[in-house]
Structure 1
């Protein structure tokens, strides 16, 4: 429950993959619950589809959507039928081309169906509970924003977008009269929401909320700068980038964070998505880098997230590979059944990670922490836009064939390319989203990303 004297808000998310909950995690410090909702997920963040006492009718609606998405995502790699089924789902969720500029406010059939379910009572139980003690309401999912507005929530309503571009589903049925305020992770999302009919005054370009434990205080960015200072040395073993851009590094990091030597191997983190797809890529990477891992020059973190099936898969494969003691020392599996505890462990490991290898999901925004991203194949049309955004920022690259990671990765390192990507992300990807959001909601202060940030 809320501490006396401290301003608090309701942070509402959904348990569907990782993206929506990962966006909510950095806001946990300002989150609280009404007395009628017991603590769950190890925090005061409220999960709309799993909170204690959620009506069975609501639960069935949520579980149907989540189960279908995860099943179809895993089916994508099946030769023929998988592509057809996934393609159909992806088409229904597609984001229309941004150009030519035009009015895109017409609601889709899917959006009308969502509103039809809400009018029949979907989400009413949650909003009635929150309305007994109204506070500012921040949600990381569009449907739960619609819950609040349609069921008469009396507090302010904020919706936090979680990708670098969004479909029509994120805007309400009648956007021009809606009182939902939006937190956009980048300028393109603001422009897109306006095309959907959302009023400009209701949109704040805050950036995606990144974890404070990876940033440090807003003014000094001490933790972020120290991590990046160590990372640049690992990503530029020949000093190519550091020599050419020494003045840039000193200006943006400060001399005290340049040329930091940390006694650890080059650390690569491979993270699967919430549906558990692409887990096999992690093993392919491991096999390719096996000799480097044995020499102690590379450490690999396989992220199973909160999925026991992925953890079991990695555990079984590692056992069958019969790794020796030196190899085992430099290979680890990151797993916890609680998603919020997993996020905490992930953020802790990320401070000492040099390369994040993952599909371009919400983790694309973590390039703002000065971490270069090697992109696995996309899963879903929104990730195509995230991929384009990473390219525009200069902090992400498509993977080459994982079977030959031991060849192309070290070519990239020798060129200083990955070090440059890390610094580009630090300089041009928004990183203070959590602080901007707190300014808007807690202090009634308009707070947005600086103009220097791209897209």
Structure 2
């Protein structure tokens, strides 16, 4: 197992109280992982490699062009024919090869070769790496995107270099061309990623199976005290008839230390959070859900939060559509819209929101890993091949399920609630998916002794 020598590595490696945590603001996924690692971030915050203070103008321009292309193509996806063609081309470039049969996949892909030309030609990351390379202070660098980690190695960063992978499978582009000689170490969110890294040529000693970093304020400490507290409330809403709780009462009692057979006092209505991706490609789906649940919202049977992230235009779209549906009075009373000025503030508020969320409805992005915090996930249609792998992983561990026809959400969603099906998914996610990714990464960086269960090699 890739984690078998983690304890030995921790013992023999020099430790630091902090690390440079580096990310990019392309979509939300990479930055979400960095937010969860802010506790170990030098200076108390992570660095955005494509928009930090002092970035050379030409480098900023290069990053902006690639980001605009990604977001433009993502927003085209819902458009028939044109969207499919444009997204299909981009998806093909980022294609993840079949895992089986196991074979040598260390040969660099066209995407990887292009990425390296892009870095070398434009000196991407050189200014940042020079700034972070403090003489005699070999502080580790943890990147949640591959380009900063490539740049760190290319420009001889003096400290250890780590890269956090943010999906349940990934393309060859995440590993340097000469993988066997590379000194970049990888934090894998699941067993399939750990095994895939080997196929790409990464040495086993450079692979750490940690789980995806979930914010500590959503998890608690090694014993998951926050998750357990929130799950007790969640079970009452997700299993109102006690179907799941009565069937698994012994194991639930032994784990939570209290009886869950009855919920004498429900603290709040059933809550559903719909999170739109960074490019906002599925915004209309949120309105379809609201339209179907309109009467149940008015009767206070369910509370919906539409997550717009940092996109004011998306939030305004939601507001306009709510008015068209005759739900103006319900904005703030049964329907909330989460929108913030900055990404750090959005991640903070979103993490707080999840503590009182019973059901998370989202495309299978990096948020798939949040089932490890005891959240059942209803999956919107995938956008991109990596999300298909997240979807398969989530189904395999039993923490999520594909959405059915949104126009009948008012029927099938409550069937899933009344039968205890979503409570079962919440339990499966908590038990089977990694919960302490941030803790494991902190342990490797700082050497701090943290008693955590070994992760199963789920592939």
Same fold judged by TM-score > 0.5?
yes
Matched, 1:71 2:81: no
Matched, 1:226 2:236: no
- What is the distance in 2 between the residues matched to 1:201 and 1:444? 20
Matched, 1:249 2:252: yes
Mapping of 1:142-161 within 5 angstroms?
142-161=146-165
- What is the distance in 2 between the residues matched to 1:337 and 1:325? 24
- What is the distance in 2 between the residues matched to 1:324 and 1:58? 44
Given that 1:148 and 1:157 are in contact with CA atoms closer than 8 Å, whether structure 2 keeps it comes out as yes
Q: Could you tell me which residue of structure 2 aligns to residue 125 of structure 1?
A: 127
Q: Could you tell me which residue of structure 2 aligns to residue 207 of structure 1?
A: 211
Secondary structure of the structure 2 residue equivalent to 1:346: helix
- What is the distance in 2 between the residues matched to 1:451 and 1:438? 16
- What is the distance in 2 between the residues matched to 1:19 and 1:359? 12
Give 5+ residue unaligned stretches, structure 2.
1-14
Given that 1:268 and 1:299 are in contact with CA atoms closer than 8 Å, whether structure 2 keeps it comes out as yes
TM superposition shift of 1:7:
1.4
- What is the distance in 2 between the residues matched to 1:309 and 1:8? 37
Of 417, 427, 434, which aligns to 2:431? 427
Given that 1:10 and 1:137 are in contact with CA atoms closer than 8 Å, whether structure 2 keeps it comes out as yes
Secondary structure of the structure 2 residue equivalent to 1:182: strand
Secondary structure of the structure 2 residue equivalent to 1:166: coil
Q: Could you tell me which residue of structure 1 aligns to residue 99 of structure 2?
A: 98
Given that 1:270 and 1:301 are in contact with CA atoms closer than 8 Å, whether structure 2 keeps it comes out as yes
Residues 62-104 of structure 1, C-alpha deviations (whole Å, 9 max, x = no match): 1111110110011011111110111010011010111011100
- What is the distance in 2 between the residues matched to 1:56 and 1:139? 22
TM-score scaled by length of structure 2: 0.93
Q: 1:6 to 1:136 in 2, by over 3 A?
A: closer
- What is the distance in 2 between the residues matched to 1:13 and 1:313? 29
Residues 110-151 of structure 1, C-alpha deviations (whole Å, 9 max, x = no match): 211221232232211000000125411000001110000000
TM superposition shift of 1:410:
1.1
Q: Give the paired residue count.
A: 441
Secondary structure of the structure 1 residue equivalent to 2:105: coil
Mapping of 1:293-372 within 5 angstroms?
293-323=297-327, 325=329, 328-372=332-376
Q: Could you tell me which residue of structure 2 aligns to residue 36 of structure 1?
A: none
Q: 1:242 to 1:447 in 2, by over 3 A?
A: closer
Of 381, 398, 414, which aligns to 2:385? 381
Of 31, 51, 54, which aligns to 2:41? 31
- What is the distance in 1 between the residues matched to 2:211 and 2:293? 35
Q: Which moved more, 1:366-375 or 1:321-330?
A: 321-330
- What is the distance in 2 between the residues matched to 1:32 and 1:449? 28
- What is the distance in 2 between the residues matched to 1:453 and 1:412? 29
- What is the distance in 1 between the residues matched to 2:176 and 2:16? 32
- What is the distance in 1 between the residues matched to 2:418 and 2:253? 22
Matched, 1:287 2:291: yes
Given that 1:376 and 1:398 are in contact with CA atoms closer than 8 Å, whether structure 2 keeps it comes out as yes
- What is the distance in 2 between the residues matched to 1:185 and 1:228? 22
Matched, 1:216 2:211: no
TM superposition shift of 1:252:
2.2
Q: Could you tell me which residue of structure 2 aligns to residue 38 of structure 1?
A: none
